[in-house]
Chain A
Amino acid sequence: MFKELDPILHSQLRLAVMSLLIGVKEADFTFIREKTNATAGNLSVQLQKLKDAGYIDVVKQFKDNYPQTTCKITPEGILAFEAYVKALQEYLKV
């Protein structure tokens, strides 16, 4: 029996964000937007969903008088991502 894929992660932009954050300690909003080619509004909504799920931490601060949003994957996020990849591998029998 296949495990159900996590609906929070099984969405293009949220999965892209998590795949980026798994490889870095933390990343700015601009970095994520640049790499995913998402619009700022759409990205903000999806980051909030990931934050609500407890998969990422979002820190808003000021850097050189400019607002800066930094995102970081949480331990729960890492576990969820690993479980998602494992489930995918089962589906695809990789």
Chain B
Amino acid sequence: MAEEKKLSEQESLELISAMIQKVKNSYHDTGIGSLLWGTVVFIASFVSFLRFRYGFNIGFDIWLIVMGAIIPQVYLSIKENKSSNAKRYDDDAIDAVWLVFGLTIFGLSFYQSTVGDTTTKIIQEEGWVMMKHYINEVKPDEQLRPFALSPYSLYILVYAFPTLVTGMVKKFKPMIIGAIVTYVLFMISCFVESQYDFLLGGIAALLCWFIPGVILRKKYLGQKKANV
């Protein structure tokens, strides 16, 4: 591009439009992160559903694969950060939203794992216990450990939030649609047995991350091919 070429007003306007368009086209999410999380959350949710539905044990907590996915995600983030040569205004905001999402998921897991024991202790100090009473008295009453009711519904609700924000900020329809359907899945999960929450959560993972990830990946590879 020659420096000193003087432009007509029309040419100037066209140049501005062309450059703004180039910036828009230069942004390409590789889709790997979405594919990774969509896959692991779907597998963990679906295996949990099958485990509750058919009562089998796989010998380890399937949700550990979700924890394990943090390692490749950190590697991918560092790699993408290194290869990125332009930073958009919304990058920091989107990163913050997903960081808060991660903290929220951690908070929910923490709540789920501690609230039962803590409540048991508190109510025992108050001098009462929770009991399970069968209406038709087929079984004797038994003491019940307090627990969070249908907790996976809350996870489904939380899955929708960062996905909708990302979809709206990036104007990426597949994520917007995925998030909206996930809100519907959350509502459905409030009316069904807990085991089906996992099935709905698996569908949410596919809609929020896996399918948008496939679309992003396809776009990214297409752009990469075009730039060669």
What 1/0 flags go to A1-21 for Cβ under 8 Å of B? 000010000111111100110
Interface membership of B76, Cβ < 8 A? no
In the complex, are the beta carbons of A15 and B3 less than 8 A apart? no
Chain B count of residues within 8 A CB distance of the other chain: 28
In the complex, are the beta carbons of A37 and B26 less than 8 A apart? no
Interface membership of B82, Cβ < 8 A? yes
Q: Do A23 and B24 form a contact, CB below 8 Å, given A15-B15, A37-B1?
A: yes
Contacts of A16 in B (CB 8 A): 1, 15, 19
Contacts of A85 in B (CB 8 A): 13, 16
How many pairs of A and B residues are in contact by the CB < 8 Å rule? 91
Interface membership of A59, Cβ < 8 A? no
Within 8 A of A (CB), among B1-41: 1-7, 9-10, 12-13, 15-16, 18-20, 22-24, 26
Interface membership of B60, Cβ < 8 A? no
Interface membership of B136, Cβ < 8 A? no
- Chain B nearest CB: distance from A47 CB in Å? 11
Chain A contact surface mostly: helix
Contacts of A63 in B (CB 8 A): 82
Contacts of A26 in B (CB 8 A): 86-87
In the complex, are the beta carbons of B88 and A24 less than 8 A apart? yes
In the complex, are the beta carbons of B9 and A92 less than 8 A apart? yes
In the complex, are the beta carbons of A20 and B3 less than 8 A apart? no
* Contact among B1, B18, B26 for A38, CB-based, below 8 A: B1
Measured in the bound complex, the distance between the Cα atoms of B12 and A31 in whole Å is: 21
Interface residues on A, range: 20 to 34
Contacts of A12 in B (CB 8 A): 1-7, 15
Within 8 A of B (CB), among A41-94: 42, 45-46, 63-64, 84-85, 88, 91-92, 94
Q: Do A20 and B22 form a contact, CB below 8 Å, given A10-B12, A15-B7?
A: yes
Chain B's closest residue to A36 (CB) is B1
In the complex, are the beta carbons of A27 and B86 less than 8 A apart? yes
Contacts of B10 in A (CB 8 A): 92
Measured in the bound complex, the distance between the Cα atoms of B9 and A92 in whole Å is: 7
In the complex, are the beta carbons of B86 and A24 less than 8 A apart? yes
Q: List 17 A-B contacts (CB under 8 A).
A: A11-B4, A12-B2, A12-B5, A15-B7, A15-B16, A16-B1, A23-B20, A24-B86, A24-B89, A27-B86, A31-B86, A36-B1, A42-B3, A45-B3, A85-B13, A88-B12, A92-B10
Question: Contacts A12-B15, A26-B87, A35-B26 given; 7 further ones with Cβ under 8 A?
Answer: A12-B2, A16-B1, A16-B19, A19-B16, A23-B24, A25-B89, A42-B1
Binding site for A on B (CB under 8 A): 1-7, 9-10, 12-13, 15-16, 18-20, 22-24, 26, 82, 85-89, 91-92
Nearest 7 CB-CB pairs, A to B? A19-B19, A23-B23, A28-B85, A31-B85, A27-B86, A91-B9, A12-B5
